[in-house]
Amino acid sequence: MIAWTAVAVSALGFAPLAKKMALTGGVATLPVAFVTALVSAVLAGGWLIARRKGATLRAMNRRQRMAVLLVGALGTGLVPLLGILAMTVTTASNRALFQSAYPAATAVAARLLLGERFRALTYGLIALVCAGLVLVNLESNSDIRLGWPFWLLFATLPLIGLSDVIAKRSLEDVSPEVVAVGRALGGTLILALALPWFLPELFEGVVRAWPWLLAAGACMGVFAVALYQVFDHTEASIAASLIALAPLLTLALEALTLGVQLSALQWAGFVLVLAAILALARRA
C-alpha cells in the first residue's frame, strides 16, 4: 500500500500545479475546470469498468442518482471552479493548502447538519486550521487584509462540507468507488451546462495547454482511484495523515517551476494548518 499512498499524494500534490500552469499558459477558468473534470471522470469510470463494477453505477435508485449528481455538482464542479478562479491570482500551493483543510470542513458540516459531536480539542484544532489559512493569505505583514482569492477558497470549505454530508446521508450503502465516479460525472455535467458560453475558449485552451489540462485531469482521476485503494488496505488515520502532506509537494514543485516563495508569516500559517490537520486525522 506504500505505492498506492505515494501515487495518491503525488497526484493530489501535482494537480493544483498543473491547473495553475494551464492558467499561466492563457487558458480560461471554465475550460480548465471542464477538461480536468472530464478527464477525471473518464479515468475513474474506466477503472470501475475494468474492475467489472460498472453495473453498480446503473443499479443505483433514483434518489441515489440524484444525490450523487448533487454531490458531484458541488464537490467536483463548483468547488474546483472556485479554486481555479482563485488561482488566477493566488498560488497553487495556497489552493492545495485549502484542499488539505477539507476534512475539517466536513467535520464542522457534520456537527451542524448531522448533530455529530466531538471533543473540545477538536474545536481548537479547527480554529488553528482557520488561523493558519488566514496567516498564509495576509497580503503583507503590515497591512492586515485578505484578498478576494482567500474568500473564494474559503467558500469552498462549506461547499465541500455540505457535499460530504449529503454523500454520508444518502450514499452510505453505495461503494466509494462508485460514488467517486458519480461525483466526477456530476461535476462534468454541471460544468457542461456552460459549454455554449465557453466553447470557443475550450478549443483555444486545449490547443494552448493540452498537456497541462490532461495532466490535471489525470491526476484527479488517479487520485480518486488510489485514494480508495489506500483506505481499503490501510488504517484511515494513517492514510489521511500521509495524504494531508500533499500541499508540501505542491509548494516544492511550484517553487521549482514558478519561483514561489513564502514569507516567514506564511510559513508559520502553512505549518500551523498542516500540523492541525495531521492532529485531526489522528483523532478521526
Confidence check: pLDDT of 93 > 70: yes
Confidence of residue 132 (pLDDT cuts 50, 70, 90): very high
Which of 81-90, 99-108, 232-241 is predicted least confidently?
232-241
- Residues 168-192: what's their mean pLDDT? 83
Confidence of residue 92 (pLDDT cuts 50, 70, 90): very high
Convert the pLDDT of each residue in 147-162 to its tens digit. 889 999 999 999 998 9
**Mean pLDDT over the full length of the chain:** 85
Q: Say if residues 220 and 106 touch (Cβ distance below 8 Å).
A: no
> pLDDT value at position 16?
95
For 130, counting Cβ atoms within 10 Å of its Cβ (0-12 exposed, 13-18 middle, 19+ buried), the class is: middle
Task: Report H helices in the chain.
Answer: 2-24, 29-50, 54-58, 62-72, 79-87, 92-100, 102-114, 120-137, 148-170, 176-192, 195-233, 236-243, 246-258, 264-283
The gap from C-alpha 72 to its chain's centroid, in whole angstroms, comes to 12
Percent of the chain with pLDDT over 90: 40
* Most confidently modeled range among 26-35, 60-69, 106-115, 116-125: 26-35
Convert the pLDDT of each residue in 199-253 to its tens digit. 888 888 788 889 999 999 999 999 888 877 766 565 555 566 667 789 999 999 9
Convert the pLDDT of each residue in 268-282 to its tens digit. 999 999 999 988 887
> pLDDT value at position 284?
60
- Residues 74-91: what's their mean pLDDT? 93
Return phi, psi of residue 280, to 5°.
-65, -40
Convert the pLDDT of each residue in 53-76 to its tens digit. 767 767 778 888 888 889 889 988
**What is the number of structural domains in the chain?**
1
Confidence of residue 175 (pLDDT cuts 50, 70, 90): confident
State which residues form the domain around 261. Answer: 2-283
Mapped onto helix, strand or coil, the DSSP state of residue 138 is strand
